[in-house]
Structure 1
Amino acid sequence: MNKLIALLLLFYTAQSFSQTTQKTEDNTIYNTAGLNVKPEFPGGLDKLKATVNENYLKVYNSEIKGKVYAMFIIEKDGSLSDIKILRGVDSEKAKELIRILSELPKWSPGKQHEQTVRTLYSVVLKIGR
């Protein structure tokens, strides 16, 4: 009987101190250069640039022409976050470009080793006609 109690006590303590394994979600932000599958805008990069330019011109007409440098994170679900306009326009126009970029259709996200990952993406947009 004592052996049975000792055995049950051993199993009980082993179970209470055993480690539980939890899957932690990978929120690492990857660069496009090292990905197996790069993120892609529906219709391609030319479609992205045309869509942004068209929407921008609806607000500012052809008030400005030139290159605008943007950077953002493409999330695992294809949405954009942490959108920044690095240079090319003043802060008011940058806010409008951020709004336009945030309302774009979702991207096909990048993949690394068959896993969907968050990706840092930068693009040069040509604004104006």
Structure 2
Amino acid sequence: MEAKKTPKADLTKKTGMFFHLGLLISVGLVLFAFEYKTYESSELMDLGTVEDDFEELLDIPITEQPPPPPPPVEQPIIEEVPDEVEIEEKIEVDFDVDVQEETVVKEVVIQDAPVQEKADEIFDVVETMPQPPGGMEGWMKYLNKNLKYPTQARRMGIEGTVYVVFVVNTDGSIQDVGILRGIGGGCDEEAVRVVKNAPKWTPGKQRGRPVRVKMRLPIRFKLS
């Protein structure tokens, strides 16, 4: 079919130009809107002619406030107390005592309370110490007669002093025989045997009464 319109009447060929022209006008209007400014018609006020009171305000004196008054001090209440009533007491002293020169005042003697001694108490030191029969000389004779030198101690050449401890009862018998310090070799056992077999001693006395006393004696072993 043949075209109805002439090529000159075809407007589609100029659409690009119209589009750019419209875009340019729109951008120009937007820029004009942003750059447009308005000013007031009133004249600017000259601030130099305005009267101010700044200096007067600066000269206002500072008011000094007085400090607050101190809190009131409560004064203590003083109560008057009446003086104490003095009581006069009359003391009658009777010095009318018949004292005779012949009156003799007896001297009061304070005696120590008697010491109660226990029957089973063992003393270390008493007023009268126990004594063997014949005294210490008789004790030495008894040892020389009854003491036997142990064979083992003689063979090993052991000699020295054995210290024996024992208790002398109120009847003079001997008990609780022990060794304080020994030398070995059978000498300790021999010393205990001799003391146990010893005759009764004279018991010790405290305040005139026989008491039990612990004795400590040396027994010497010496090779001849």
Classify the secondary structure of the residue corresponding to 1:86: strand
Tell me, in whole angstroms, the C-alpha distance in 2 between the residues paired with 1:116 and 1:91.
37
Match of 2:195 in 1: 101
- Does 2:114 correspond to 1:28? no
Check the 8 A contact 1:73/1:121 in 2, yes or no: yes
The structure whose residues are more often strand, as a share, is 1
- Map residues 69-88 of structure 1 onto 2, 5 A cutoff: 69-88=163-182
* Structure 1 stretches lacking a partner, 5+ long: 1-23
Tell me, in whole angstroms, the C-alpha distance in 1 between the residues paired with 2:138 and 2:221.
14
Residue identity matched to 2:146:
N
Check the 8 A contact 1:109/1:117 in 2, yes or no: yes
* Structure 2 stretches lacking a partner, 5+ long: 1-116
Match of 1:19 in 2: none
Check the 8 A contact 1:71/1:84 in 2, yes or no: yes
Tell me, in whole angstroms, the C-alpha distance in 2 between the residues paired with 1:46 and 1:126.
15
Tell me, in whole angstroms, the C-alpha distance in 2 between the residues paired with 1:67 and 1:75.
25
Classify the secondary structure of the residue corresponding to 1:119: strand
Check the 8 A contact 2:162/2:187 in 1, yes or no: no
- Does 2:154 correspond to 1:60? no
Instruction: Give me the TM-score of the superposition, normalised by structure 1.
Output: 0.68
State the shift of 1:38 in Å.
1.1
Match of 2:64 in 1: none
Match of 1:13 in 2: none
The structure whose residues are more often helix, as a share, is 1
Check the 8 A contact 1:42/1:105 in 2, yes or no: yes
Question: CA 1:50 to 1:88, structure 2 compared with 1: closer, same or farther past 3 Å?
Answer: farther
- Does 2:207 correspond to 1:118? no
Residue identity matched to 2:150:
Y
Tell me, in whole angstroms, the C-alpha distance in 1 between the residues paired with 2:217 and 2:131.
12
Classify the secondary structure of the residue corresponding to 1:51: helix
Tell me, in whole angstroms, the C-alpha distance in 2 between the residues paired with 1:84 and 1:91.
16
Tell me, in whole angstroms, the C-alpha distance in 2 between the residues paired with 1:113 and 1:45.
23
Classify the secondary structure of the residue corresponding to 1:46: helix
2:140 pairs, out of 30, 49, 58, with 49
Question: CA 1:27 to 1:91, structure 2 compared with 1: closer, same or farther past 3 Å?
Answer: farther
Residue identity matched to 2:122:
I
Instruction: Give me the TM-score of the superposition, normalised by structure 2.
Output: 0.41
Deviations 1:68-90 (A, max 9, x none): 11111001111111101222332
